[in-house]
Amino acid sequence: MALNKKERKNNEVKVALAGNPNSGKTTMFNEITGSRQHVGNWPGVTVEKKTGQASYHNYSLEVIDLPGTYSLGAYSEDEVVARDFLTAGDYDVVLNIINSSNLDRNLYFTVQLLEMGVDLIAVLNMADEAEKKGIKIDKNKLGQLLGTPVVETVASRGKGIDNLLEQTVQNRNLAEASLKIDYGSEVEDLISEVVEMLKQYDFSQQINQRWAAVKLIEHDPEAVKLLEREVGASKAKKIKSFIAERELKSEDDFDNIIIDKKYEFINKVIEESVKRPAADEEPENHSDKIDAVVTNKYLGIPIFMAVMWGIFKFTFTVGDPLIGYIETFFEAAGGWIGSLLLGAGVSPLISSFITDGIIGGVGSVLVFIPNIFLLFLAIGVLEDSGYMSRAAYVMDKVMSKLGLHGKSFIPMIVGFGCNVPGVMATRTLDSKRDRIISILINPLMSCSARLPVYVVFAGALFSNHASTVVFSLYALGIVMAVIMAGIFNKILFKGERSHFVMELPPYRFPTLKGVFIHMWEKVGAFLKKAGTIIFSVVVLIWVLANLPLGVEYASAESFIGQFGQLVAPIFAPLGFGSWQAAASLVFGILAKEVVVGTLGVVYAAGEGGLRAALTTNFSPLAAYSFLTMVLIYTPCIATLGAIKSETQSWKWPLITASYLFVLAWIVSFVIYQGGLLLGIGI
Partner 1 sequence: MPLAMLRKGETACIKEIVGGRTARGKLNDLGFVNGKTVRIHSSSGGPLIVGLGDNRIAIGRGMAHKVIVDTEGCEN
- Return residues touching partner 1 (CB under 8 A): 70-71, 73, 75, 101-102, 104-105, 108, 133, 219, 255, 259-260, 263, 279, 282, 285, 287-288, 291-292, 295-297, 389, 392-393, 396-397, 400, 405-406, 430, 497, 499-504, 506
**Residue whose C-alpha is closest to residue 386's, from 471, 501, 286:** 286
Residue closer to partner 1, measured from CB, 290 or 487:
290
Q: Are 669 and 661 in contact (CB under 8 A)?
A: no
Q: In the complex, what is the shortest distance from the CB of residue 280 to partner 1, in angstroms, rounded to a whole number?
A: 10
Q: In the complex, what is the shortest distance from the CB of residue 221 to partner 1, in angstroms, rounded to a whole number?
A: 8
Query: How open is the CA angle 74-76-79, to the nearest 5 degrees?
Result: 50
Q: In the complex, what is the shortest distance from the CB of residue 217 to partner 1, in angstroms, rounded to a whole number?
A: 13
Q: In the complex, what is the shortest distance from the CB of residue 400 to partner 1, in angstroms, rounded to a whole number?
A: 8
Residue closer to partner 1, measured from CB, 72 or 207:
72
Euclidean distance between CA atoms 498 and 430, whole angstroms: 7
Residue closer to partner 1, measured from CB, 289 or 465:
289
Q: Strand 93-99 vs strand 12-19: parallel, antiparallel, or unpaired?
A: parallel
DSSP sequence for 326-387? HHHHHHHHHHHHHHHHHHTT--HHHHHIIIIIIIIIIHHHHTTHHHHHHHHHHHHHHHHHTH
Q: Are 25 and 19 in contact (CB under 8 A)?
A: yes
Residue closer to partner 1, measured from CB, 279 or 344:
279
Residue closer to partner 1, measured from CB, 18 or 586:
18
Question: What is the distance of C-alpha 525 from the center of its chain?
Answer: 15
**Backbone Cα Rg of the chain:** 29
Residue closer to partner 1, measured from CB, 400 or 617:
400
**Residue whose C-alpha is closest to residue 9's, from 53, 54, 61:** 61
Q: In the complex, what is the shortest distance from the CB of residue 285 to partner 1, in angstroms, rounded to a whole number?
A: 8
CB neighbour burial string for 310-341, b if at least 16 within 10 angstroms, e if fewer = ebbeebbeebeebbeeebeebbeebeebbeeb
Q: In the complex, what is the shortest distance from the CB of residue 194 to partner 1, in angstroms, rounded to a whole number?
A: 19
Residue closer to partner 1, measured from CB, 504 or 590:
504
Q: In the complex, what is the shortest distance from the CB of residue 540 to partner 1, in angstroms, rounded to a whole number?
A: 49
Q: In the complex, what is the shortest distance from the CB of residue 407 to partner 1, in angstroms, rounded to a whole number?
A: 9
Residue closer to partner 1, measured from CB, 4 or 285:
285
Q: Which amino acid is at 312?
A: F
Residue closer to partner 1, measured from CB, 104 or 196:
104
Residue closer to partner 1, measured from CB, 36 or 219:
219
Q: In the complex, what is the shortest distance from the CB of residue 652 to partner 1, in angstroms, rounded to a whole number?
A: 24
The β-bridge partners of 52 are 63
Q: In the complex, what is the shortest distance from the CB of residue 268 to partner 1, in angstroms, rounded to a whole number?
A: 13
Q: Which amino acid is at 203?
A: F
DSSP sequence for 17-86? EEESTTSSHHHHHHHHH-------SSTTS--S-EEEEEEETTEEEEEEEPPP-SSTT--SHHHHHHHHHH
Residue closer to partner 1, measured from CB, 367 or 410:
410
Q: Are 66 and 86 in contact (CB under 8 A)?
A: yes
Q: Strand 120-125 vs strand 150-152: parallel, antiparallel, or unpaired?
A: parallel
463-472: Cβ within 8 A, 24+ apart? 466/316, 466/320, 467/312, 467/313, 467/316, 467/317, 469/624, 469/627, 470/312, 470/316, 471/309, 471/312
| DSSP letter (8 states) at residue 97 | E
Q: Are 379 and 416 in contact (CB under 8 A)?
A: yes
Euclidean distance between CA atoms 26 and 38, whole angstroms: 8
Q: In the complex, what is the shortest distance from the CB of residue 323 to partner 1, in angstroms, rounded to a whole number?
A: 39
Q: In the complex, what is the shortest distance from the CB of residue 73 to partner 1, in angstroms, rounded to a whole number?
A: 5
Residue closer to partner 1, measured from CB, 138 or 503:
503
Residue closer to partner 1, measured from CB, 39 or 266:
266
Residue closer to partner 1, measured from CB, 26 or 102:
102
Q: Are 391 and 304 in contact (CB under 8 A)?
A: yes
Q: In the complex, what is the shortest distance from the CB of residue 132 to partner 1, in angstroms, rounded to a whole number?
A: 11
Euclidean distance between CA atoms 425 and 117, whole angstroms: 31
Q: In the complex, what is the shortest distance from the CB of residue 405 to partner 1, in angstroms, rounded to a whole number?
A: 6
